[in-house]
Every structure is written in structure tokens, then in C-alpha cells.
Structure 1
């Protein structure tokens, strides 16, 4: 036989009132049924909890010892359901995600702001890492989902395309190519370039595009951060080819961008996650993310960034 939470509640009510009749009335039970509930609890515990007289009820020494335990048990019991109610209503919880740095800095801020406004009690954990680390964090289950380039071709994960963004040229406002409405990759190759490191998806797609067009390119430097590219281009050191989603991060008053064509280089960004149901909080964040396209977050680059139907 095990104790039931209603028996603990009955014990606390009797300890408070000191009267079977008053406690049973407040508890909503007949006095015999209430008395039986106390008796069953005493049988489970193996001790008498109350001294019973014709005039009053008083806690035994064992009852006095059990009183704080019962109060704590009831608080914990109630707290469990309150916490679960908070989780299902997305008032509490945690969402962890991994994203490429350009996504974390360019796409996520308006999503994070709106989600936090709606769900201020949910903690957000954002890992801005390279593609390989995004995949590893998703596979290990350390994050709820990742946002990256393409699928990892694993049966454990699924990939949901969110948007496509074209590569553009980043250059100083006074560079000769700034006078062109569109720049070809061949024209870009005639100038010194700075790029992300060879381990990044941006650099791999850049190299692929030059190779596909059978064009040689002269890279003066490889760097790890978009801010460094912006600084080097602004100094007149080199030009850069970057996805349009990087523009909110790198643009500054002395820099401009132009579409790149012939050929058009485009990457597909999407959601990478394990094939199981996400937490309630993670699902709420996902819905906020999928709604970003309808809000047109990049009106100045709309021709270069196109959201898939699932993200509109």
C-alpha cells in the first residue's frame, strides 16, 4: 500500500483545524470517509499521527515530525504540475540552436527579439559556429536544431530548406567596379580578393563558382570573421564575394555591394534537426523562424534573398 497525495492533503487540513468535523467539511468529504483517509495514511507510515479525544485532535510526536515533510511534499507536488504547465504554455524552458555566423548575426536577431517578447521566460542558447560544428551539435542532441547549408546526408537528421541567398560583391564606394549595376565573376577575378577560410561553406562555394566558370582568382588573405573582411575591403586592400545574408553584418558607410552574375552563385540555407518531436519551446521558436519570410526582414536585399514557401 502506498500513500496518496489526497491523504497527505487531508493530514495537513486536520493538523491545521484540529477537528475532524471541520477538516472533513473543508475537504469536501463525509467525516467517516475523511477519517478513513487519515487511517490509511497512518497504516502506510506505520505510526499514529494524531491523538484523538472527544473534544480535539492533537499531533503526536511522529505527526509533528511528519508535518514539515508533508508540507514540503505538497509544495513539490504542486510545483511539478505548475512547472509542466509553464513548459506547455511556453512560459519556461530552453531552446538551443546552432547556426552559421552569417545566419546568427543576419537572420536570427529579429526572430530572437520577437520570440523573447512573446516568451520572456524561455532561455535561448545560440551557438554561432561553422557548418561542421552545426552538424555535430545537431547529431549529438546538444541543440534542438541547426541552421546551415545543405543536409548532412544522415538518416538520423532531416533538412528543411528555408531560403536561398545569392553571392554579391563587397567593395569600397569609390572602387571602379562600384559604377556597375552588376559585376561578373570574371571582372571580380581581375582584382585582389579576401575570403573566409577554406573550411567555411562560403569559401567552398566561392571556389566552386570560380572553377565552374574556369576563372582563376587571386586571394590575398583568408580570415575567420566577417568583420575582418569588412575592415580589409574598407581599407582598399581587396574585394570580397559573400552571400547576401552577410550584408547586414558587413555593410558600413564606406562600403557598397553589387549583385554577382555570370554565373549566379547561390546557397540554400535550411533547418537541420534530428527526426523526433522537438520540445514545446523549440517548436514555438521554429514557428517564429518559419514566419520570418512573411515579415520581409531584408527589404534592401530582397532580390538576392528569397524565402522558401515553408518560411513564408
Structure 2
């Protein structure tokens, strides 16, 4: 009989019955322990020994003991059953979000404004699920999702990539981040501003692999100095610092602007050009979300339903 065929004839019921009889030294006590009849336990042991082609238990009128082969077999079976119970338990805990890990890559504005508040309530519900959240550019976030290195991403769409699915969650308008002491910035009565009013201004941009620059470079109706900024920063934090020190102004989405604003900086929405950015939950169609990752994504959606977003932002 081949090993594959042999294992099909042996079930967990056979192995549990063998362990119970070996440990109890009695078919009667083993039956009581497993809540079965003595005859069913006897039958299971006979089936197991027939399948293995050997005797595992020595039976006398007074006691039941292990044969030499049974003594060798018992600790292996105990380990196998323990490993099986642990494996099943781990899967159940994972499916119930009692354990696990979620990896997310997102734009920093999405982490601060959406993910972190949602993660706080999620972690209270599932304290044993570890969260690994990193910020990166839109291009790199999409690549991480495409490679399966993170569970999902949350950023603006960078480019169409086969297999990636984008679920828009939030939309925010572009405006101008500027230094409050800059006398050249004159806002309208509704605290908005037009691009025409910014003629001659120097713009501070961020690196080209961000979702912000993807939006700006795609707009043919923008002044050249806005779509190709004179200054460039590696991050929006560095960008705001440059603006605060008088190096220029920046076109930014509202959610980012409200995150990087300082007491020395102001933000005004554009009133003559409609520029919008969508933050999307990015997943891969070939990589289904784990229960824990799906739970965090759901928590983010629930948070957005009740969140108080800055002016210029709205949920989708």
C-alpha cells in the first residue's frame, strides 16, 4: 500500500482515539474522555492498526499497553495533533482578525488625515493585529501594491497599471499655500485667489513622482511657472519650509495644505481653475485582502462617513 493511499485511510478520529487509549491505558476511560462508545473506540483502533499493518497496543484482560512500535508512534502523533490544532487555531484567529499584520503604503496626507484616525479605532477593536504603515510617493505606492509588498495603498492615481483597482475615497481642491506676510498675495473677499493674480510669482514644487506633480503636469491650462516650478523640494514638509522662508508659493491639494500649514502660512482655494485630486484605495485584483486588511480598509471608509474634513475636501 502506498503512503498516499495509506494516509487517506487514517483520520484525526483514529489518531485521537489512539492517543486517548495510550494515555488512559483503557478503552473504557478513553471512550469516556472522547464522549464515544467503547465499541467505536475499539473499532477505530482496529482500523488504524489494519491501515498501518502493525499492532500498536497490547491488550490483556487487566490492562492496555503500548507495543514497541506504539511507543515510537505515540509522541509523533501527539506532536502532529498539536501542530494541527495550532495551525487551525492560527487560521481562525487570523480570519477573525484576532491576530495578523496589515501593511499599508500611503501619501503622508492620507496617513495623517485618514489612516491614523481610523487605525486608532481599529486597534482598539483588534489589539493583536500589527499595523505597518509607511509613507511614500504615488508612483512607489502603486509599485508596492502591484508587487504585493503591501496589502493596499492610499494615494492619488499615478498611472494606469494592469491589475490595480482604484476606489476613490476623498476629493480635495487645489489652492495656494503662501506666506502670510507676503504683500504680493491679495485674497478676494471670499478668501479665494485666481491664477491670474499670481502672475510673476515663483512656485515651489515637489519631486515629479508624486501625485501632486502628476496632476499639475497634466494640466495644459496652467501657467508654465506653475506646472514646472522654479524650486523643487523632496517633500511637502520641505516645500512648506521653503515657502515660510520667502522662496515662493505652492499649488497644493487642500488636505495636504492643512497638514503642513504653520502659523506663518495661509492657504487659499483657486476660484478660476477647477483642479481636483482624488485619494484612492489601491488594491490588486490578484491579491485579495486578508480579513485584517479588509477590516482596516472598512474602518477607513467608516471614519470618512463621520470625519470633519478641511474646507475644499469632500468624501466620495
* TM-score category, normalised to shorter length: 0.7 to 0.9
Alignment CA distance shift 1:154-1:213 (3 Å): closer
Distance in 2 between the 1:56 and 1:272 partners?
Answer: 65
Query: RMSD across aligned C-alpha pairs, in angstroms?
Result: 2.4
Task: Look up the match of 1:173.
Answer: 180
- Corresponding residue SS for 1:107: helix
Task: Look up the match of 2:13.
Answer: 6
CA contact (8 A) 1:151 1:159 kept: no
Distance in 1 between the 2:16 and 2:282 partners?
Answer: 47
Q: State whether structure 2 residue 100 is matched by structure 1 residue 100.
A: no
Task: Look up the match of 2:50.
Answer: 43
- Deviations 1:260-295 (Å, cap 9, x if unpaired)? 221132112212222354322222122112223212
Alignment CA distance shift 1:250-1:184 (3 Å): same
Task: Look up the match of 1:296.
Answer: 307
Aligned residues: 304
User: 5+ residue gaps in structure 2?
Assistant: 1-5
Task: Look up the match of 1:229.
Answer: 239
CA contact (8 A) 2:139 2:211 kept: no
Distance in 2 between the 1:194 and 1:74 partners?
Answer: 64
Q: State the Cα distance separating 1:140 from its structure 2 match.
A: 2.3
Q: State the Cα distance separating 1:163 from its structure 2 match.
A: 1.5
Query: Scaled by the length of structure 1, what TM-score is found?
Result: 0.87
- Corresponding residue SS for 1:183: coil
Residues 119-138 of structure 1 mapped to structure 2, 5 A cutoff: 119-138=126-145
User: 5+ residue gaps in structure 1?
Assistant: none
Alignment CA distance shift 1:237-1:154 (3 Å): closer
CA contact (8 A) 1:227 1:249 kept: no
Task: Look up the match of 1:78.
Answer: 85
Q: State the Cα distance separating 1:154 from its structure 2 match.
A: 4.5
CA contact (8 A) 2:174 2:252 kept: yes
More off after superposition, 255-264 vs 7-16:
255-264
Query: Scaled by the length of structure 2, what TM-score is found?
Result: 0.86
More off after superposition, 133-142 vs 110-119:
133-142
Residues 120-269 of structure 1 mapped to structure 2, 5 A cutoff: 120-150=127-157, 152-176=159-183, 180=187, 181-209=191-219, 211-214=220-223, 216-217=225-226, 219-269=229-279
Alignment CA distance shift 1:84-1:11 (3 Å): same
Q: State the Cα distance separating 1:214 from its structure 2 match.
A: 4.4
